[in-house]
Amino acid sequence: MEREFHRRYKTGVTFLINMMVKTIQDPLSPKQLEFVINSTAHWNLAHGSVRSGKTICTLFRFMHATDRCPDSQIFMVGHSSETIYQNAIRPLLESDELAIFKPFCTWFPGKRELRYKDKTISTLGAKDEGAIGQFQGKTMSLCYCDEMTLYPESIIDMIDTRLSRSHSMGFASMNPSHPGHKIKQWIDKAEAGDPNYYSLHFTLDDNPYVPEDYKQRIRDSLSGLFYKRNYLGLWCLAEGAIFDFFDRKIHVLPQPPTAAEYWVAGIDYGTVNPFCCLIVGVSTGRHTGLGMRMWVEKEYYWDPKKTGRQKTNTEFANDVQEFLEPYAIKALYIDPSAASFKLELQRRNIHCVDANNDVLDGIAIMTDQMKKGNLYVLQECENTIREIESYIWDSKKAEIGIDAPIKKFDHSTDCLRYVLATHKVNKVQSQQYAPGGFGSRYEYRPNF
């Protein structure tokens, strides 16, 4: 009976694939087809590097299973309700590779539900432990999980227990995390031959529709942990220097690389620990044509252990006000936990914004901008340079599955992380030139 099921299943998949090849220009890649055809286990896991085609093939297989599901106990789960829409619902409605399903799909944003033919697919967020109540008491026939390595382990366990019917199946796509992660244990079971689990590893080279220049940009912009996980698709520990590529000869300058169009600033608050404020110069490239550039231009750094004296909020506010006064600061980003100091600044009519304090996102942005040659530090900012060089992963936390830097000598790096992760630099549109124009070889035409 099981053999007959697989025969009918593969016949149905083959029919869908043939229809897809006829209707779209870029059909599924060989690796994606391998996943679609072989994903018949209780849990089916696509893992590996970014932009390798995991999402499309898992969605294709999930929708095929939805088409044959006898009920509407069908769910799609994301890190948040917004990410499940952006990463999964939108591709279903817009992607050419999934066009065969599009005529039968209707999205209801108010209910956060996707209607497929006569089936209703509910969406859920799994951002933190508080979301577990959404999953309790549910029975799931099918579940699609996007970015599953970002879910708390308790929610992963809860989803697993909800898939309790004989025909229940789970489909998940993810980038790798640490090797002790719950999902990595499932992958190991699949590789050991456990019939309840199927997994397939993807790399960027498995996606033939991604241009080679994009692949090269990804290789050049990633480093260390992020290169291993996001490009090679490896499950590895966070260890060693975080900015292992940082080179004083390249990233440290005696003066700004160009004139600043404006400045932004960041504050990492501390009383027992050092207090840091950085001024960051910004050039959008509007006037230089060199692209966006940012640089740490000046630092205020107070270490009570070195000076032998702690300062009050009033004293720090006086220092910050004097430090920022010569600059036209466009925005000031502050450590979200520094509520009392934020009030002290507001009393002086200094507006500040709570910074994005997601550590891994901030580190990834810093890595990307430095490797692209968009971020520099002026040589007078000695504390910032020293801390970037000594910023390392916490090996003890890595052993228990937590990716985090050591909380030591990290005040300037945290401050810079706040600025980069929160401030959005407006992209400059490319300019188009055409022959003609009065008094010039070319006539400038803005790109509207």
**Are 406 and 356 part of one and the same domain?**
yes
Average pLDDT, the chain: 87
Percentage of residues of the chain with pLDDT beyond 70: 90
Q: Are residues 201 and 319 in the same domain?
A: no
Which residues have C-beta within 8 Å of that of residue 408, sequence separation ≥ 6? none
Answer whether residue 182 is part of any domain: yes
Q: Which residues neighbour 253 within 8 Å (Cβ) at sequence distance 6 or greater?
A: 295, 376, 377, 378, 379
| Residue 405: inside a domain | yes
Is there a single domain that holds both residue 310 and residue 417?
A: yes
Contact by Cβ (8 Å): 152, 126: yes
Same domain, 62 and 202: yes
Mean pLDDT of 47-61: 94
Q: Which residues contact 6 (CB under 8 A, 6 or more apart)?
A: 40
pLDDT tens-place string over residues 331-386 = 999 988 999 999 999 999 999 999 999 998 999 999 999 988 999 999 999 999 99
51: pLDDT strictly greater than 50: yes
Using the predicted structure, report yes or no on whether residue 24 has a pLDDT greater than 70: no
Structural domain contains residue 448: no
Residues 110 and 30 in one domain: yes
pLDDT tier at 438, thresholds 50, 70, 90: very low
Residue 161 is part of which domain span?
A: 2-231
The CATH number covering residue 393 comes to 3.30.420.280
Q: Which of 371, 390, 417, 364 is nearest to 251 (CA)?
A: 371
Q: Tokens for 155? A: 């929610």
Give pLDDT tens digits for 190-229.
Answer: 999 999 999 999 999 898 888 888 888 888 878 777 888 8
Query: How does residue 26 score in pLDDT terms, banded at 50, 70 and 90?
Result: low
pLDDT score, position 22: 44
Q: Is residue 206 part of a domain?
A: yes
Q: How confident is the model at residue 6 (pLDDT cuts 50, 70, 90)?
A: very low
Residue 431 domain-assigned (yes or no): no
* In-domain check, residue 434: no
What gap in Å lies between CA 101 and CA 80, rounded to an integer?
Answer: 24
The domain total for the chain is 2
Q: Is the pTM of this model over 0.75?
A: no
Beta bridge partners, 393, equal: 405
Shared domain check, 264 and 215: no
pLDDT for residue 196: 96
How deeply is 120 buried, as exposed, middle or buried, from its count of CB atoms within 10 A (0-12, 13-18, 19+)?
A: middle
Any idea which of 142-146, 230-234, 295-299, 425-429 has the lowest mean pLDDT? 425-429
| 36, 38, 218, 375, 414 from 32: Cα distances, Å | 6, 10, 21, 37, 40
Pick from 196, 231, 266: which residue ends a domain? 231
Q: Count CA atoms within 13 Å of residue 4 on its CB side.
A: 1
Whether residue 275 sits in one domain with residue 173: no
